[in-house]
Amino acid sequence: DTGVSQNPRHKITKRGQNVTFRCDPISEHNRLYWYRQTLGQGPEFLTYFQNEAQLEKSRLLSDRFSAERPKGSFSTLEIQRTEQGDSAMYLCASSTQGQGTEAFFGQGTRLTVV
């Protein structure tokens, strides 16, 4: 399968713990996006990378959230000191650079903070 891969698929953590998610994009895609989706809502933009550069961050991305893409390939999203409000589906997508290029999503990581 050469699509976008996210791990883990599910994560249950206690409030206050740190969690890290991984995203492996489609190999030739240089853009990588992180989105958050809560039940009944559309995906909300968090941040995106072009190669290893983080080009834009949403105000939703508080200082407890950090994302990296060190070699321009896979990316990690870390949430520190998790809160119950962080419970959501975290989606990763990738695309090639340019106007109107298709973005393909992974299956997401479902985070539950208890």
Partner 1 sequence: GENVEQHPSTLSVQEGDSAVIKCTYSDSASNYFPWYKQELGKGPQLIIDIRSNVGEKKDQRIAVTLNKTAKHFSLHITETQPEDSAVYFCAASLAGNQFYFGTGTSLTVIP
* Contact status: 41 vs partner 1 (CB under 8 A): yes
The answer to whether 51 contacts partner 1 (rule: CB under 8 A) is no
- Among 8, 15, 38, 56, which residue interacts with partner 1 (rule: CB under 8 A)? 56
Q: Which residue has the tokens 């961050």?
A: 57
By the 8 A CB rule, do 56 and 40 touch? no
If the CB atoms of residues 41 and 62 are measured against partner 1, the closer one turns out to be 41
| Residue (of 4, 47, 49) closest to 30 by Cα position | 49
Residues with Cβ within 8 Å of residue 42, at least 6 apart in sequence: none
To partner 1, the closest distance from the beta carbon of 95 in angstroms equals: 6
The answer to the question of residue 48 lying near partner 1 (CB under 8 A) is yes
Contact call for residue 43 and partner 1 (CB under 8 A): yes
Distance CA(84)–CA(16), nearest Å, equals 9
CB 23 within 8 A of CB 60: no
| 55 makes contact with partner 1 (CB under 8 A) | yes
Q: Which residues bind partner 1 (CB under 8 A)?
A: 4, 6, 31, 33, 35, 40-45, 48, 55-56, 91, 93, 95, 97-108, 110
